[in-house]
RNA sequence: UGUCCGGUGGUGUAAUGGUAGCACAAGGGUCUUUGGAGCCCUUUGUCAUGGUUCGAAUCCAUGCCGGACAGCCA
């Protein structure tokens, strides 16, 4: 969150290079367009996820690298699936992700503004200019606290494809007048039959050769609401025998008597994606329309519509790349929505969700997410990205910024027999060894402590460097401790450890230099602050949850969330939502919005790398969960 | 059996006719008052077969394998 960190990522990282950027660079050299203009066009029918993060970083990244603009646009042409809740979340998530990085490239528009009509040879030509860089009034940390930035910019809003319904209707009329579109009365079932199959040509619709006048009349009446849903469609007239199915007279408009979240009840006909998207791009002056691979076969249609409208300005072109698929995650809106609806998770922003809001709540910073989304590269090869790459990006980022704190997740009581009962002292501790400017703090020490249950074993395996009967460990920032006696209850469970401290061994003491193999964390019992700590782990136990059509819910990780009451050093009582914490030897943690002044709730973003867990696994010495991970592998 | 798009270590990604590199992962070492971080080292790759060329991951051909496309979804 520091300026230096941002600068490093913004300026010191080599500019990404990929086949799309190479193309854009060529176009810049050729001066093909007055400026580079991309767009991020989600449909507001779900929350943005990590796959969208890649698309956002690509589109906004290109804008910032080539001095361009990236419009945020709601691709909202299907009223039955969309909702303002999703619009709001999309705006919030995009703003969070690009804050301090590319928010000065964000193209928005004045609220309520629709395209201007530009006279051109008697034919309609429409253009809607962006307002740029107005959303960057909040710093990333301010943004984390405030959230929805629409409130901060009351006069601006994203672009909406639905704002172009008037213009799209005009364009449809043009196509009809040119004999390139017709109203078809075929039922949905018959439309399917007439379309043929990938290896079998389709057949012409019996309504294909209606007169222009009849088409105009019927289309007007469709618009006026004279026909029920599904009764008629407007179709382009291309080629029912085309080897490309998307050129077999694809539908342009369908009838839907439904209220739209943005246009209300003004329309009962709605444009299809293929018709709306290319023309929305054109209206906004988009130069590079970047989408995922599944739209590759639609590109000839994208071009056909634009080219058959004889548009006067330079046409946008579509480029496709392979979407991001991280292992141990699912990135399908349909499947994510079902996790929410089935209450497998607590909501779209459940910290286990691969949604941007879930990732944010988990404690991952925007910078870390961007570094990952950019680092995976851009190709046309469909692949699964190892989640380890994502986790590495998170650790790399958090290691630099997290404040170190001592906290005990699963406490066991330790009594230091030779430490006076009424004594306590303040020990100095480093806030962040990676950042000298982070300073130090004081931690109270006293006779009764808590240490981690996993940091003591009665009969430890080889290479166990922690506390054992008769053995010694270093208490971080404090004394060397020896375990004298193990106190158990009637069931044999360990309830307390009686220990002796080497009272000359703390920093600066005469025996401070003594070498002890292990160092463990601790918290003074009398001074400890309780916190609810939510230990999150991967949501799935399989790298590809939906591989080969498997039910992804059959491979849910039963241990994806464990809640414990942790004992924390007192300074954690003042934990701040915009800061990140490392509980030493355990992992990275962030304050959850569920926290209240009297009740701390922290989320484990990710564990530290745990070489002991790996070692124990190799030793085959049983389930020595280090307390750092509950991962099922 | 149609059209389009792809195949580089375990994974992801560079090399754009000229020494196959980087990152993650894995393994080893070093350091350490975090078994964290850092530092050092190592293993593993051009789908196949032909062709063009002084020289091919790159160009050509054929084959093999994978993916997308038959919503009035986007």
- Residues A258-268 pLDDT 10s: 999 999 999 99
Instruction: Kindly tell me if the per-residue pLDDT of A278 is higher than 70.
Output: yes
- A162 CB-to-strand B distance under 7 Å: no
d(CA A385, C1' B10) / Å: 12
Distance A236 CA to B59 C1' (A): 40
Find, among A37, A27, A28, the residue nearest to A281 by Cα: A37
Kindly give, in sequence order, each residue whose CB lies less than 8 Å from that of residue A13, ignoring residues fewer than 6 positions away.
none
List the end-to-end C-alpha distance of chain A, in Å, as a whole number. 33
Report the C-alpha gap between A279 and A159 in whole angstroms.
Answer: 13
Q: What is the pLDDT of residues A553-587, one digit of tens each?
A: 999 999 999 999 999 999 999 999 999 999 999 99
- Among chain A residues 521-580, those with CB within 7 Å of any atom of strand B: 521
Does residue A248 carry a pLDDT above 50?
Answer: yes
CA closest to C1' of B34 belongs to: A585
Q: Give the mean model confidence (pLDDT) for residues A112-122.
A: 85
H or E segment to which residue A567 belongs: strand A561-568
Pairing between β-strand A159-160 and β-strand A181-184 as defined by DSSP bridges? unpaired
Strand B closer than 7 A to residue A13 Cβ: no
**SS3 state at A70:** strand
Give the model's pLDDT for residue A119. Answer: 72
For chain A, state the CA radius of gyration: 30
Distance (Å, rounded) from C-alpha A367 to C-alpha A363?
11
* Residue closest to A185 by CA, chosen among A222, A225, A220: A222
Is the separation of the CB atoms in A590 and A144 below 8 Å? no
pLDDT band at A621 (very low <50, low <70, confident <90, very high): low
Closest nucleotide to residue A516 (Cα to C1')? B33
pLDDT of residue A8: 34
Q: How far apart are CA A277 and CA A261, in angstroms?
A: 18
Helix, strand, coil share (%) of chain A residues, nearest 5: 30, 25, 45
**Residue A454 and residue A410 in contact, taking contact as beta carbons nearer than 8 Å:** yes
The confidence band for A150, taking pLDDT boundaries of 50, 70 and 90, is very low
Q: Is the CB of A118 under 7 A from strand B?
A: no
User: Residue A112's CB: how many other CB atoms inside 10 A?
Assistant: 8
Confidence category of residue A494, pLDDT binned at 50, 70, 90: very high
Q: What integer pLDDT is reported at residue A123 of this predicted model?
A: 77
SS3 for A144-178, per residue? HHHCCHHHCCCCEECEEHHHHHHHHHHHHHHHHHC
Residue with tokens 């939502």: A577
A623 or A8, higher pLDDT: A623
Torsion over CA: A480, A485, A487, A490 (sign): positive
pLDDT digits (tens, 9 = 90+) for A204-232: 999 999 999 999 999 999 999 999 999 99
> E strand or H helix at A3, and its extent?
helix A3-7
Largest CA distance in chain A: 101
Residue A632 in this model has a pLDDT that exceeds 80: no
The span from the CA of A542 to the CA of A216, in Å, is 55
Q: Hey, how many other C-beta atoms are within 10 angstroms of the C-beta on A254?
A: 19
Is the pLDDT reported for residue A439 higher than 90? yes
Q: Which strand B bases fall within 7 angstroms of a protein CB?
A: 1-8, 10-16, 23-27, 33-38, 66-74
Q: State how far the Cα of A583 lies from the Cα of A578, in Å rounded to an integer.
A: 16
pLDDT of amino acid A15: 83
Angle at A451 between CA A450 and CA A453, to 5 degrees: 120
What is the full DSSP assignment across A317-354? EEEEEPPP-BTT----HHHHHHHHHTTSSSSTT-TTSS
- CB A391 within 8 Å of CB A329: no
Element (H, E) at A591: strand A587-591
Q: CA separation (Å) from A101 to A3, A5, A395, A411?
A: 12, 12, 20, 42
Are A630 and A612 contacting, i.e. CB atoms less than 8 angstroms apart?
no
Which residues from 300-329 of A have any strand B atom under 7 Å from their CB?
Answer: 322
Q: How far is the CA of A40 from the C1' of B16 (A)?
A: 29
Q: Is the pLDDT of residue A627 over 70?
A: no
Report the nearest residue to nucleotide B6, CA vs C1'.
A381
* Whole-number Cα distances in Å, A280 to A40, A107, A115: 12, 14, 10
Q: Are A219 and A236 in contact (CB under 8 A)?
A: no
Is the distance from CB of A289 to CB of A317 less than 8 angstroms? yes
* C-alpha distances in Å from residue A395, one per residue of A102, A351, A372, A476: 23, 16, 11, 22
Q: How far apart are CA A190 and CA A450, in angstroms?
A: 73
* Residue A16 Cβ under 7 A from any strand B atom: no
Lowest mean pLDDT among A63-72, A140-149, A200-209: A140-149
Query: What pLDDT does residue A4 have?
Result: 35
Strand, helix or coil for residue A401: helix
Name residues whose C-beta falls within 8 Å of residue A103's C-beta, 6 or more positions apart in sequence: A95, A133, A135, A136
């Amino acid at each position: 969150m520091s300026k230096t960190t941002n600068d490093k990522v913004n300026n010191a990282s080599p500019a990404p290079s990929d086949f799309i950027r190479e193309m854009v660079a060529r176009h810049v050299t050729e001066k093909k367009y007055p400026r580079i203009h991309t767009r991020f066009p989600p449909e507001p029918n779900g929350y943005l996820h990590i796959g969208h993060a890649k698309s956002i970083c690509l589109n906004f990244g290109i804008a910032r690298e080539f001095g361009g603009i990236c419009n945020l646009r709601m691709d909202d042409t299907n009223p039955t699936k969309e909702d303002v809740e999703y619009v709001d979340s999309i705006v919030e998530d995009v703003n969070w992700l690009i804050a301090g990085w590319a928010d000065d490239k964000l193209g928005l528009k004045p609220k309520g503004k629709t395209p201007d009509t530009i006279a051109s040879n008697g034919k309609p030509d429409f253009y809607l200019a962006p307002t740029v860089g107005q959303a960057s009034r909040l710093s990333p940390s301010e943004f984390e606290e405030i959230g929805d930035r629409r409130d901060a910019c009351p006069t601006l809003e994203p672009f909406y494809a639905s704002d172009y319904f008037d213009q799209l209707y005009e364009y449809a009329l043009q196509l009809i007048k040119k004999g390139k579109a017709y109203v078809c009365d075929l039922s949905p079932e018959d439309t399917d039959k007439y379309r043929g199959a990938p290896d079998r040509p389709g057949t012409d619709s019996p309504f294909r050769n209606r007169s222009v006048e009849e088409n105009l009349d019927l289309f007007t009446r469709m618009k006026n609401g004279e026909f029920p849903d599904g009764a008629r469609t407007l179709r382009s007239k291309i080629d029912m025998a085309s080897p490309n199915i998307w050129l077999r007279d694809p539908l342009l408009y369908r009838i839907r008597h439904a209220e739209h979240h943005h246009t209300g009840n003004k329309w009962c006909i709605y444009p299809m994606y293929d018709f709306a998207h290319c023309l929305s791009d054109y209206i906004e002056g988009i130069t590079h329309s970047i989408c995922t691979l599944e739209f590759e076969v639609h590109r000839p249609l994208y071009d056909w519509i634009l080219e058959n409208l004889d548009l006067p300005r330079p046409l946008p072109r579509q480029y496709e790349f392979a979407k991001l698929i991280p292992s141990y995650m699912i990135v399908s809106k349909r499947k994510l929505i079902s996790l929410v609806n089935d209450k497998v998770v607590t909501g779209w922003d459940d910290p286990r969700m691969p949604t941007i809001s879930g990732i944010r709540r988990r404690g991952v910073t925007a910078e870390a997410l961007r570094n990952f989304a950019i680092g995976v590269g851009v190709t046309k090869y469909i692949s699964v990205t190892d989640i380890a790459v994502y986790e590495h990006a998170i650790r790399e980022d958090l290691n630099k910024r997290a404040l170190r704190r001592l906290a005990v997740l699963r406490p066991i009581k330790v009594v230091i027999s030779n430490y006076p009962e009424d004594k306590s002292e303040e020990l100095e501790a480093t806030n962040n060894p990676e950042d000298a400017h982070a300073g130090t703090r004081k931690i109270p020490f006293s006779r009764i402590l808590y240490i981690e249950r996993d940091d003591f074993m009665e009969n430890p395996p080889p290479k166990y460097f922690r506390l054992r009967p008769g053995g010694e460990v270093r208490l971080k920032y404090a004394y060397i401790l020896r375990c004298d006696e193990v106190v158990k209850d009637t069931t044999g469970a360990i309830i307390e450890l009686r220990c002796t401290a080497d009272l000359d061994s703390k920093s600066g003491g005469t025996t401070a230099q003594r070498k002890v193999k292990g160092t463990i964390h601790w918290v003074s019992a009398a001074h400890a602050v309780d916190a609810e700590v939510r230990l999150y782990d991967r949501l799935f136990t399989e790298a590809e949850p939906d591989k080969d059509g498997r039910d992804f819910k059959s491979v849910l990780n039963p241990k994806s969330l464990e809640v414990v009451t942790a004992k924390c050093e007192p300074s954690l009582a003042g934990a701040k939502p915009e800061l990140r914490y490392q509980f030493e030897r355990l992992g990275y943690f962030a304050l959850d919005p569920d926290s209240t002044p009297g009740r701390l709730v922290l989320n484990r973003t990710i564990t530290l790398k745990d070489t002991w867990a790996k070692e124990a696994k190799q030793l085959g010495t049983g389930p020595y969960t280090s307390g750092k991970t509950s991962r099922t592998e």
